[in-house]
Amino acid sequence: MSDTPSVTVTKNGPYKIANVPNLTLSDKSEGTAKATMFLCRCGQSSNKPFCDGTHTKVGWEE
Ligand code: FES
């Protein structure tokens, strides 16, 4: 497994954030170093900035 920081745009889904140390989110919380997280891209999540899977339920497409 690579430790290279990356941001991946998933098809019709969230941003996948991986291996980004000291990531600070808009609510001032910080990600854990090397954590993988999924950030909402559709605007429908009830747990922003994180994806909660709602994009699938509403059939969101990019
Ligand atoms: S991208 Fe998954 S809830 Fe918005």
- Write the pLDDT tens digit of every residue in 16-35: 998 877 667 667 776 554 57
Going by C-alpha positions, the residue among 26, 53, 28 that lies closest to residue 38 is 53
Going by C-alpha positions, the residue among 18, 14, 17 that lies closest to residue 43 is 14
Pocket test for ligand 1, best of 7, 48, 51 (most atoms within 8 A of CB): 51
Looking at the predicted structure, is the pLDDT value of residue 4 above 80? yes
Specify the fold of 1-56: Ribosomal Protein L9; domain 1 (3.40.5)
Q: Where are the domains of the chain?
A: 1-56
Pocket test for ligand 1, best of 8, 54, 58 (most atoms within 8 A of CB): 54
CA 22-28-34 angle, 5° bins: 25
Pocket of ligand 1 (CB under 6 A): 13-14, 40-42, 44-45, 51-55
Q: Confidence band (pLDDT; 50, 70, 90) for 2?
A: confident
Ligand 1 centroid vs 56 CA: distance in angstroms?
Answer: 8
